[in-house]
Amino acid sequence: MYKIKDIINQIHCADCLKFLKKIPDDSIDLILTDPPYNVGKVFDKKQEKTYFDIKFHKKWLKECDRIVKLDGQMYIFWWSGFLKEITNILDYKQVLYWTKPFAMMRRGRRGWQNFTELIFWKVYSDDFTFNALKGMDSKDYFTDVSCINLPNERFHITQKPISLVEKLVGAGSNPNDIILDPFSGSGTTLVAAQNLHRQFIGIEISQKYCEIIKNRLKQKPLL
Ligand SMILES: C[S@@+](CC[C@H](N)C(=O)[O-])C[C@H]1O[C@@H](n2cnc3c(N)ncnc32)[C@H](O)[C@@H]1O
């Protein structure tokens, strides 16, 4: 088993199925992740599966349930086309919606163009951090819908907007809490954690994206 102090504030280039097994029980405050959508996207030249890989998703979710603290929580980005499958394997509290007003239209695909993505929110007890209410008096209070454009400059084809990820990290954790992203991609969760003075653990299987994350984490300001 790893000691948290030895793996914190780093990106680990590894298969999360193996790495997660070595993270101690009850050690993570917030898991925020964006697993492969299983819609045939190509990440670092490898095409992901085109069907919802239940076995795979169950495995990493099981490890996440083990390592998150009882007062911790999890946010997961997922595609609405697999809602039935997701509901079968995930016991979530609420679904949030991210809409992308200026996403590019893709013609030729037989199905409605997605301008909305789902974010599943799971908690493990009634004693979870919820800072969203703190913003209720201000203009930018949090609702379950975020209307935020895709990032202009992207390091990854499914990169999430930093402002959206910061909103979730800010709502679901406190300074110095430990945030984990087992599918880090270009590292948006880790950048958000660093910006908000949280600690983080990143896992990403692609060496190319790990290098991108390392460089991104060195940038000032972090975007
Ligand atoms: C949807 S992307 C994440 C994008 C990220 N949210 C961002 O803003 O850049 C999913 C990532 O998971 C990685 N991945 C796929 N299988 C993995 C595994 N078994 N372990 C770790 N990473 C994996 C892929 O290489 C890909 O970069």
DSSP 47-75: EPPSS--HHHHHHHHHHHHHHEEEEEEEE
Give me the percent of the chain exceeding a pLDDT of 90.
Answer: 70
Name beta bridge partners: 13: 204
Which pLDDT score is estimated for 3?
A: 97
Which pLDDT score is estimated for 73?
A: 98
- The label of the residue with tokens 């907007």 reads 161
Query: 10 Å Cβ neighbour count for 18?
Result: 11
DSSP 79: -
Which pLDDT score is estimated for 197?
A: 96
| Residue whose CA lies nearest to ligand 1 atom number 27 | 185
Q: What is the pLDDT of residues 76-128, one digit of tens each?
A: 999 998 999 999 999 999 999 999 877 776 666 677 888 899 999 999 999 99
Q: How far is the CA of 34 from the centre of ligand 1 (A)?
A: 7
Mean predicted confidence (pLDDT) in 120-138: 85
Would the CB of 146 count as within 6 Å of ligand 1?
no
Q: How far is the CA of 44 from the centre of ligand 1 (A)?
A: 10
Query: At residue 67, does pLDDT exceed 60?
Result: yes
Query: At residue 140, does pLDDT exceed 60?
Result: no
Residue 125 CA neighbour count, 13 Å, CB half:
10
* Ligand 1 probe mutation, 205, 207, 212, 215, most atoms within 8 A of CB: 205
Would the CB of 203 count as within 6 Å of ligand 1?
yes
Most confident of 6-10, 38-42, 50-54, 133-137: 6-10
Give 141 or 97, the one with higher predicted confidence.
97
Mean pLDDT (the chain, rounded): 90
Cα separations in angstroms, 200 against 23, 29, 49, 51, 136: 13, 10, 28, 30, 27
Q: What is the pLDDT of residues 2-48, one digit of tens each?
A: 999 999 999 999 999 999 999 999 999 999 999 997 766 666 667 66
Domains of the chain plus CATH, in order, are: 4-217 (3.40.50.150)
Which pLDDT score is estimated for 110?
A: 76
Would the CB of 36 count as within 6 Å of ligand 1?
yes
Cβ–Cβ < 8 Å for 67, 26: yes
Would the CB of 158 count as within 6 Å of ligand 1?
yes
Which pLDDT score is estimated for 210?
A: 97
Q: What is the pLDDT of residues 186-202, one digit of tens each?
A: 999 999 999 999 999 99
Mean predicted confidence (pLDDT) in 59-86: 96
